[in-house]
Structure 1
């Protein structure tokens, strides 16, 4: 057993050491090698993860292939329903330990466990299981006479096969379950490869599958290689039918290229640089405060967070002032503290990357209305990876700060000169993942929202994040949709069958 106590304010939770799940067995690396799991709030080691070898990845792919081809998992809906409900109950039963581990390993503030940190993804597993129960895998197209031949046509939806699910470190339980749940429900078999920064929550998911469900051996596997070249086999191996990846746009492009020789199906949920637009009749102070709050959540480590605040030019100074005051009131805190909103960034590498953008902000001519530095913390937290919540003013949308995904608690405030200009700024981005529009006139806000090329939009404070709502992006924010019926159907192929009428 290993202690996963989070930080100075955390409660120690004893959990089994992280192990891989390969072909139904919880196993270490075949080489015996491990790597440290660090608490990003303190920089201290909290556990060890198996450093998977190419042999481990090969074994996991072979197990998943065999389970898909030789077992009845893909065709036995009742088995899948029973197993997924068992997994859902196991997650509920071990919720406290899972939440504590997430705060410790991910640096995620506790308040997020009621949303993307734990509750929403677990409810999403329940939702997709209910969908499986009612989903029509066959539909009748009726009789037609193509080329004069009377034929009855049936359209079948069938599982795509072996899925490699490759997930990031920012909200691992959400993204792990958003891939694994629909894939298993569809009848696929899965090899899950988590980010090396957050392997433990994925290993815990594997442990729950092994110890608390009837999921057959090989149907679900977890491997934890630290090296990219070992993980790359998942994108190139011809036994894998689909790669489902969430992470950076650069890595997504590399995965797409690696998968091309075998023409795998590829799902990509990638970066974002989303705009929060306040029109000239909106309550700009309210929008600025809400956007600054959102940019602080989990230290800004969310692909769909609105990190560009686009406000009327005449209200620019007010928006900057309110955003700065909001961020100052939030500050950076121990994620185990009950009032924490902005915890650490995930690693020293990420902290240094964000710090480089802060230096760039000044080089580009921007100014810091608040923040702008690596945060100085006391006690155990002094060894963690901290960035001050930061508001950058004085830059336009052509700046790199406004164009590139930073993945830290950094908000850039940009002026606009009317609705058309606001739409132009929002769309002037390589990304198109999320955004928001606020106006006193709902129809006006809707009209602007319809012109923004992005996958999700909040209008006047509406919330789109829900298990039944598809999520994904336009442009370089990705290909395909996760969650909702559309997310489930990503893991299905379509077959048309014709027979004499």
Structure 2
């Protein structure tokens, strides 16, 4: 089994401000979660550096918003091309820093590039309109204008893809942006800075400031020049950011936590459903806000599906994502393993049963310092258990039995979250009816990954505000201005 090496850095592990690497405050070490090996020491931005970044973004935005939409779009599309041309280097860096298998990392680079490409095209499709005024002799213009400086805060599970969604949309709209990557995965974000400069992005239009959330997020929320706050993170963090930005009446775009139901209808193709569900739950080792968190299975097929899931789960390869053939990697850190383990232990104490656990990583002595949790299949799970109530964020599959489809839909909706959901079955009319009955921002019918750059995605209830992707995604960074004017009249000279 071959192992891929970490690429040589083409960037420096320090804040990227005004097109240059800057000094910062404290230094922290980034480790590979699979092996515990040191990757780099990263210099964090302190509050003063963040303020400098915002001030630089203000200056850069004045010229950037006046650039033609075609020009802005071309920079984003060139960025997409450069990412694809260097996706092996980016993927190896991403796997080393975050832990996901190399094949999944390649997929994330391609996904990130698709947002730069999509919003590079959408930049020229921001249309205003001229409309008839209710008073004779007048007309009004509705124009879309860049909101200003955008503060972007991204998570560690998709550190470049989530950044691409926000960076591409904000820059396409004519905003400048200050990007705060996750504390645990700052390197892949810093790697984007010089690539965008190579694509022709003027200095200061994108600032990248790794640092503590309490420091960087606090400055972004308080600074009057920051007009949009866009966060992907936990519901608790989203609530805190909203409150911090409220005095400045900042626009917020939030993609927050989930508790996605995965409803398996009685007529579902069990082989197909098994393959899709295992793929979904092993994706980033279950550390995904849209992953299946509660799997509702009809009583008539529960035994057959459980058997297939156990066999497929046991056959998976769990280990170092830089080695070939891995289906899942480690969790992001040791505390995550402890928290997921506590949820599983509590469920078992309350009557749940472990049917399968994959500990294949234990055969590799080089992974002893890694932060792995065994992918686990649980049966006899009840709605009141913590494993069903709360987002797990780990490779745990809890099966919950139901007897009526209407019951499954009702139970699926008994959560304050509404981010994603899944429905599997052969009768597409029934699947559509069930999907429409679920309270979630996006529902995949016989599809484990319905997220695409062209498709708008956002949560409802406590799972978020606003959308990313699709033609709607750019609107999060635009304001409307109406100009009411007299109609010009022909005048004889």
Query: Normalized against structure 2, the TM-score is what?
Result: 0.94
Residue 246 (1) aligns with residue 237 (2): no
Once the two structures are superposed, what CA deviation does each residue of 1:448-496 show, in whole Å capped at 9, x if it has no partner?
1111111111113375221100111111111111111111111111122
Unaligned runs of 5+ in 2: 488-493
Once the two structures are superposed, what CA deviation does each residue of 1:42-82 show, in whole Å capped at 9, x if it has no partner?
111111111211111111111112222x4243453243133
| Distance in 1, Cα, partners of 2:49 & 2:2 | 36
Aligned to 1:229: 215
Aligned to 1:192: 179
Aligned to 1:82: 74
Q: Aligned to 2:95, which of 91, 95, 103?
A: 103
Displacement of 1:293 in angstroms is 2.8
| Distance in 2, Cα, partners of 1:270 & 1:73 | 29
Task: Tell whether the 8 Å contact from 1:288 to 1:309 is kept in structure 2 after alignment.
Answer: no
| Distance in 1, Cα, partners of 2:2 & 2:446 | 38
| Distance in 2, Cα, partners of 1:374 & 1:355 | 17
Aligned to 1:125: 116
Aligned to 1:259: 245
Aligned to 1:36: 29
Aligned to 2:142: 155
Task: Tell whether the 8 Å contact from 2:84 to 2:109 is kept in structure 1 after alignment.
Answer: no
Q: 1:96 to 1:140 in 2, by over 3 A?
A: same
Q: Secondary structure at the match of 1:414?
A: strand
CA RMSD in angstroms, aligned pairs only: 2.0
Alignment of 1:174-185 (within 5 A): 174-185=161-172
Aligned to 2:65: 73
| Distance in 2, Cα, partners of 1:266 & 1:343 | 33
Aligned to 1:24: 19
| Distance in 1, Cα, partners of 2:339 & 2:64 | 47
Displacement of 1:10 in angstroms is 2.1
Q: 1:290 to 1:87 in 2, by over 3 A?
A: closer
Displacement of 1:182 in angstroms is 0.8
Q: 1:335 to 1:261 in 2, by over 3 A?
A: same
| Distance in 1, Cα, partners of 2:334 & 2:228 | 32
Q: Aligned to 2:158, which of 171, 188, 198?
A: 171
Once the two structures are superposed, what CA deviation does each residue of 1:221-240 show, in whole Å capped at 9, x if it has no partner?
00011352343211222221
Alignment of 1:252-401 (within 5 A): 252-371=238-357, 376=362, 378-401=364-387
Aligned to 2:44: 51
| Distance in 2, Cα, partners of 1:438 & 1:93 | 36
Q: 1:427 to 1:73 in 2, by over 3 A?
A: same
Residue 10 (1) aligns with residue 32 (2): no
Q: Secondary structure at the match of 2:152?
A: strand
| Distance in 1, Cα, partners of 2:411 & 2:274 | 17
Displacement of 1:163 in angstroms is 0.4
Task: Tell whether the 8 Å contact from 2:153 to 2:231 is kept in structure 1 after alignment.
Answer: yes
Q: Secondary structure at the match of 2:441?
A: coil
Task: Tell whether the 8 Å contact from 1:74 to 1:188 is kept in structure 2 after alignment.
Answer: no
Range that drifts further, 35-44 or 491-500? 491-500
| Distance in 1, Cα, partners of 2:273 & 2:370 | 31
Q: Aligned to 1:139, which of 129, 150, 155?
A: 129
Aligned to 2:460: 474
Q: 1:422 to 1:288 in 2, by over 3 A?
A: farther
Task: Tell whether the 8 Å contact from 1:365 to 1:394 is kept in structure 2 after alignment.
Answer: yes
Once the two structures are superposed, what CA deviation does each residue of 1:300-353 show, in whole Å capped at 9, x if it has no partner?
111111122111123222222222222111142221222111100111222222
Task: Tell whether the 8 Å contact from 1:186 to 1:492 is kept in structure 2 after alignment.
Answer: yes
| Distance in 2, Cα, partners of 1:8 & 1:22 | 38
Aligned to 1:4: none
Task: Tell whether the 8 Å contact from 1:18 to 1:200 is kept in structure 2 after alignment.
Answer: yes
| Distance in 2, Cα, partners of 1:302 & 1:463 | 11
Unaligned runs of 5+ in 1: 1-6
Displacement of 1:187 in angstroms is 0.3
